Structure 1
């Protein structure tokens, strides 16, 4: 059994769930729309150019959840999946996941988006194992803070190694699918990196290094 590892946003789905969640909070009236939307757009631009302060972003993104219980937010999660995620799911991504399952590979999603947002998305995709930025819960309530190793850039490599050690797995023969130059640290330690609908920076690097490039949108 080998590992088939997938980035989520703009890889397995045709959009960024973190950014969409921020827009969804604005639409639902759970935040001050003008102020929050401006922050959401700025952080997304920072991510795209590889300059995101992940701790500052998570403090911003998780603040609206503070003091709420996960159970109380399930209806909101369900609505988000229905209205924002299902419309951007990709048939070719479903086929790719199916191909790896049929090979007997172990599927894992690793994403910089927090696990509150991404756990139900992974479930929708039929992937049982997910590593995202973990969300702190105290006394049954979300604190609005992340916890543990943050799965962004080099943090993805560190968190994956922690997971490998716990699960008795290795990266031998593993593949990793991603669209983003922010995932270079992980792509560089994987035997089989695959660029999926890559951003311009990653596409250029992939061409230079001879990495496979595919599209799940065509």
Structure 2
């Protein structure tokens, strides 16, 4: 695997550093422990997931999903459930190749940043397991300890570009100083901004885009 000599390297999480979608893993885990969570699963599978893959997620739709996902839970309760989820299911889906690539970038001194549509509680759990200190994610909006949705901007599509740009500016850098690894065409806006886009375990739409633009492509699913 080639390592690019750049100060900052962004990585997507779902189907990139892990071999599943973290939301899908969570839903299956919840359903195993709490059968009523089937309502949450149906909402996600029928609406959010399809919209996400088509690049049509709105802030209102995603906030609504998180209100359903965390209904009846305080932030502290959600954090405890995520810890149990990660120990029982989440940590078993990290690609072995991810550790090698991340170590290579750490060794050369690049700042590694996870940038993901997962919420900050889930994202931090994966970041800790992968040794990634900098995590950009969807941030839960919390009022008096209760989760009410997501903060603006959401970490998706153009929102990822905005949040990544803020991270770089705080360090006196620009997109010319960054690489980005992702599996999804919904991340095309950020791929088009960075100096080195890398397509990782791509869906069909992103694979076609990568071929047209001659972007490097890695597929760990074939190994």
Asked whether the two chains share a fold, i.e. TM above 0.5, the reply is: yes
| 1:114 alignment partner in structure 2 | 119
Measure, in 2, the Cα distance between the counterparts of 1:14 and 1:216. Answer: 9
Of 51, 54, 61, 1:46 maps to 51
C-alpha contact (below 8 Å) 1:54/1:152 kept by paired residues: no
In the TM superposition, residue 79 of structure 1 has moved relative to its aligned partner by 1.6
SS of equivalent residue, structure 1 residue 131: strand
Measure, in 1, the Cα distance between the counterparts of 2:74 and 2:60. Answer: 22
Measure, in 2, the Cα distance between the counterparts of 1:164 and 1:170. Answer: 6
| 1:183 alignment partner in structure 2 | 187
SS of equivalent residue, structure 2 residue 112: strand
The two structures have a TM-score, normalised by structure 2, of: 0.89
The CA RMSD measured in Å over matched residues stands at: 1.9
Q: Which moved more, 1:45-54 or 1:141-150?
A: 45-54
Q: 1:62 to 1:116 in 2, by over 3 A?
A: farther
Query: Are positions 1:125 and 2:106 aligned together?
Result: no
* Matched ranges for 1:124-163 at <5 A: 124-139=129-144, 141-163=145-167
* Matched ranges for 1:77-96 at <5 A: 77-96=82-101
Q: 1:144 to 1:117 in 2, by over 3 A?
A: farther
Measure, in 1, the Cα distance between the counterparts of 2:132 and 2:139. Answer: 17
Aligned residues: 216
Measure, in 1, the Cα distance between the counterparts of 2:67 and 2:101. Answer: 31
In the TM superposition, residue 20 of structure 1 has moved relative to its aligned partner by 1.9
Q: 1:118 to 1:142 in 2, by over 3 A?
A: farther
In structure 1, runs of 5+ residues without a counterpart are none
Q: Can you list the C-alpha shifts for 1:38-91, whole angstroms capped at 9, x where unaligned? A: 112122122222233343123223434256443333431222112222221111
Q: 1:61 to 1:19 in 2, by over 3 A?
A: farther
| 1:60 alignment partner in structure 2 | 65
| 1:19 alignment partner in structure 2 | 24
In structure 2, runs of 5+ residues without a counterpart are 1-5
| 1:210 alignment partner in structure 2 | 214
The two structures have a TM-score, normalised by structure 1, of: 0.91
Of 68, 75, 78, 1:70 maps to 75
C-alpha contact (below 8 Å) 2:27/2:37 kept by paired residues: no
C-alpha contact (below 8 Å) 1:63/1:145 kept by paired residues: no
